[in-house]
Amino acid sequence: MSTIVHFEIPVDDIERAKKFYTELFGWEIKEEPEMEYHMITTSGEKAVDGGMMKRQHPQQQITNYIDVSSVDEYSKKIEKLGGKVVMPKTAVPSMGYFAVCLDTENNAFGIWETNKDAK
């Protein structure tokens, strides 16, 4: 069964958001300068790690990424079921591939395929 494996929080002010989430939940947030991205390490029994980056557009909200066996296969399945792929398959080198989609109710979500050969 597929499960949420990553989340992304878009922010307007990185330092303000880092302070908020660190003080609120005790999350560890480390910058990945080559990616203009900050990795979030949560804690606890049901920990799911995530990331934080500058907001790309005013309506951008938190996005949950769901683990799938193949971004290509699931992108086709999403469209067949009435959803949309709004950001096609994109590589995260040496980590995997992702796509951002909309469900039939216009909610955004991501799909993630782990693949260490991604380029």
Residue range 21-53, pLDDT digits in tens = 999 999 999 999 888 999 999 988 889 999 999
Mean pLDDT of 45-64: 95
How crowded is residue 75: how many other Cβ atoms within 10 Å of its Cβ?
19
Q: What is the mean pLDDT of the segment spanning 11-26?
A: 97
pTM over 0.85: yes
Domains (range + CATH), the chain: 1-54 (3.10.180.10), 68-119 (3.10.180.10)
In this predicted structure, what is the pLDDT of residue 22? 97
| Interval 71-118: pLDDT, tens | 999 999 999 999 999 999 999 999 999 999 999 999 999 999 999 999
pLDDT recorded at residue 40: 98
Quick one: CA torsion of 12, 14, 21, 28, rounded to 10 degrees?
150
- Give the span between the Cα atoms of 89 and 99, in whole angstroms: 5
pLDDT at residue 44, rounded to an integer: 83
pLDDT of 3 strictly over 90 = yes
41 compared with 1, residue with greater pLDDT: 41
